[in-house]
Amino acid sequence: MRITVLGSGLVGGPIAIDLSNDRRFSIKAVDANNEALERLRHHNISTIQADLKDVAVLKGILKECDLVVSAVPGQMGLATLKSIIEAGKNVVDIAFFPEDPFVLDQEARQRGVTAIVDCGVAPGMSNLLTGYAASLLDETSSVLIYVGGLPQVRQWPYDYKAVFSPMDVIEEYTRPARYVENGNVVVRPALSDPEYIHFPNIGTLEAFNTDGLRTLIRTITAANMKEKTLRYPGHIEKIAILRETGFFSRDKIEFNGHMMRPIDFTAKILFPMWKMNEGDADLTVMRIEVKGTKNGQKTAHRFDLLDRYDETTKTNSMARTTGYTATAAVRLIAEGLYRTTGIVPPEILGREHTCVEFMLKRLAERNVIYTHTTPSE
């Protein structure tokens, strides 16, 4: 099977490497950044330097493959997915774009395309395991997801490193958060409702609202659902000050005779400080709590993940937990275990228990371990 990976950055690169270790696959990686591609050339991966925003170039690349992994930045995600579907190629997508992926559902079905979207760690495994837990219940009452990617070593002033596209990180801090409360969709500002939570082997982290439920709002019926992002204590206040001062604004202002967007200036200053340098160790922590009833009894399912930087392969935890979820989904399609066409968010996969077992097994083989418990109410 010829597989093309679009985007070869912090996550796309490890995806290409993991797939290249499978003799059934021929892997091609595409990126505009030659430095990112250079890191892949000593693996069994062919590379193409190309601007994926150029639709004509993208369509030419898509002709030469059987399946696509889209790991492009969020702002390119929907347009890229549309081109992939128009090319009639099955796809695993981790672009995490803000638009509704279901706008492409009808076209994907008409073209016989299986498009597994939001297929990372969160969104991704958070959705899959929520869908799985809901399928184990007769009725689902609540879903609560906590997730964060953090540097193992805290460094002042932000105690943070961007373990995926930094611009997508800023999007988390600015996009209003949608959640479900008493059966109604409620919108709150990002960074709102802060709380402290203690996690074993990590310590106390702070959690805040982000727009991470995504397709779960449409696909899961529960009276209460919320996703919150985790950071080291103190991070929220610093980011909130930047946001409320206008540093994340996309509206142009005049400065020294030039028009500029404040967010572009902020990105220029922040991104070097947030950059994950070679050898920087990170961790990923996630907790998913799904509650409801089974046979008339209150029942809860909880899934916990704590993953760390892999010293042996020099792979960041966020790349492992996100990328290996995507590569497991690729293998799911390649082995013919899932053939449903259309837009497929991971929670739909979660209803298929054989798919869940397959995904968890593939992740466990790479030492990404999810612990499932059923705490008493």
Which domains can be identified in the chain, with CATH numbers? Answer: 2-117 (3.40.50.720), 125-308 (3.30.360.10)
179 confidence band (pLDDT: 50, 70, 90) = very high
What pLDDT is stored for residue 170 in this prediction? 87
Range from 63-72, 262-271, 274-283 carrying the lowest mean pLDDT: 274-283
Q: What is the pLDDT of residues 100-110, one digit of tens each?
A: 999 999 999 99
Mean pLDDT throughout 242-258? 94
Is the pLDDT confidence value at 86 over 90?
A: yes
pTM of this structure: 0.93
Mean pLDDT throughout 108-133? 97
Amino acid at 252: K
Q: What is the pLDDT of residues 30-46, one digit of tens each?
A: 999 998 899 898 899 99
Average pLDDT of the chain to the nearest whole number:
94
Mean pLDDT throughout 195-219? 94
What pLDDT is stored for residue 74 in this prediction? 87
What pLDDT is stored for residue 362 in this prediction? 97
